[in-house]
């Protein structure tokens, strides 16, 4: 059995049921490749953890921002629990080192791995909730995810950057921005895109990402900063 002692020390959460902890890290692809393992994948735990995560974050935002309406709170919550942030947190916790994946999935370190890591964080949250109770998982989420709230709110990252830059450009520059792929690299399963945002003929900013959409969002965000339109 995988030794999770280092991981438990890192998180400070020591499981009573070690099999439940292990299950949180088992991807469906591993089960498909090892049908006789008598193990279960983590998707039911992920389902539970997703709900626990949403409750913890919603409760926190509801109390912290009493003047914001439900639409604004929903947008902030979506920005806070998106796959990019959660997968980065999972990577920081070294969750990657404990994943049980098929040989094919294990070789892929691109966008697919990002989603697997985010889902594993949620599965782990579900496992902690079952093994340790609500207060322990609430504190874990408070320690790992909620510290990102201030940056998202202060930089207005909860507002979709593409929508915001379009609104500001039409208001202040009298034009509608458009995006163009400037450069792309990497194999098909792990592409990297560099996208430019243009106001007319002028290149305002560039953004990079693992998809065109992600690169466009980054370009829009950079343009907002350059134009000082985030205030």
pLDDT tens per residue across span 119-172: 999 999 999 999 999 999 999 999 999 999 988 887 776 777 888 899 889 989
Active-site position among 122, 131, 216, 221: 122
| Fold of domain 5-154 | Ribonuclease iii, N-terminal Endonuclease Domain; Chain A (1.10.1520)
Which residues, other chains included, contact 170 with Cβ-Cβ below 8 Å and sequence gap of 6+?
Answer: 176
> pLDDT of 40-62, one tens digit each?
999 999 999 999 999 999 999 99
Pairwise CA distance, residues 169 & 198, whole Å: 10
Mean pLDDT of the chain: 90
Instruction: Say if residues 165 and 174 touch (Cβ distance below 8 Å).
Output: no
Catalytic residue flag (residue 122): yes
In the chain, domain spans: 5-154, 161-226
Catalytic residue flag (residue 70): no
Phi, psi of 126 (to 5 degrees): -65, -40
Chain-centre distance of CA 79, in angstroms?
Answer: 8
> pLDDT of 92-122, one tens digit each?
999 999 998 887 776 666 666 788 999 999 9
Give the pLDDT of residue 191.
87
Instruction: Say if residues 123 and 46 touch (Cβ distance below 8 Å).
Output: yes
pTM of the full structure: 0.73
User: Would the pLDDT of 84 be above 90?
Assistant: no
Residues in the chain: 231
Active-site position among 8, 19, 43, 50: 50
Name the nearest CA neighbour of 70 among 54, 80, 58, 79: 58
| Fold of domain 161-226 | Double Stranded RNA Binding Domain (3.30.160)
> pLDDT of 12-33, one tens digit each?
999 999 999 999 999 999 898 8
Give SS3 for 169: helix
Give the pLDDT of residue 104.
74
> pLDDT of 205-224, one tens digit each?
999 988 898 899 899 989 99
Instruction: Say if residues 25 and 99 touch (Cβ distance below 8 Å).
Output: yes
Give the pLDDT of residue 51.
97
Number of Cα atoms under 13 Å in the Cβ half of residue 93: 28
Pairwise CA distance, residues 24 & 45, whole Å: 7
Give the pLDDT of residue 109.
66
Domains 5-154 and 161-226 share a fold: no
């Amino acid at each position: 059995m995988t030794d999770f002692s280092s991981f438990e020390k890192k998180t400070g959460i020591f499981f009573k049921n070690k099999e439940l902890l292990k299950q949180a890290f088992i991807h469906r692809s591993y089960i498909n490749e090892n049908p006789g393992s008598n193990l279960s994948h983590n998707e039911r735990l992920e389902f539970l953890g997703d709900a626990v995560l949403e409750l913890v974050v919603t409760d926190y935002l509801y109390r912290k921002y009493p003047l914001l309406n439900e639409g604004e709170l929903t947008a902030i919550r979506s920005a806070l629990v998106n796959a990019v942030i959660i997968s980065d947190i999972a990577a920081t916790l070294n969750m990657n080192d404990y994943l049980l994946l098929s040989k094919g999935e294990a070789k892929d370190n691109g966008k697919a791995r990002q989603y697997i890591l985010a889902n594993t964080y949620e599965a782990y949250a579900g496992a902690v909730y079952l093994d340790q109770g609500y207060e322990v998982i609430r504190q874990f989420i408070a320690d790992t995810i909620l510290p990102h709230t201030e940056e998202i709110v202060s930089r207005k990252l909860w507002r979709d950057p593409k929508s915001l830059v379009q609104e500001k450009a039409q208001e202040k520059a009298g034009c509608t921005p458009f995006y163009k792929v400037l450069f792309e690299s990497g194999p098909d399963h792990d592409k990297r895109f560099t996208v430019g945002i243009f106001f007319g003929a002028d290149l305002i900013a560039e953004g990079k990402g693992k998809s065109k959409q992600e690169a466009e969002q980054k370009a829009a965000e950079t343009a907002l900063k350059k134009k000082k339109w985030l205030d």
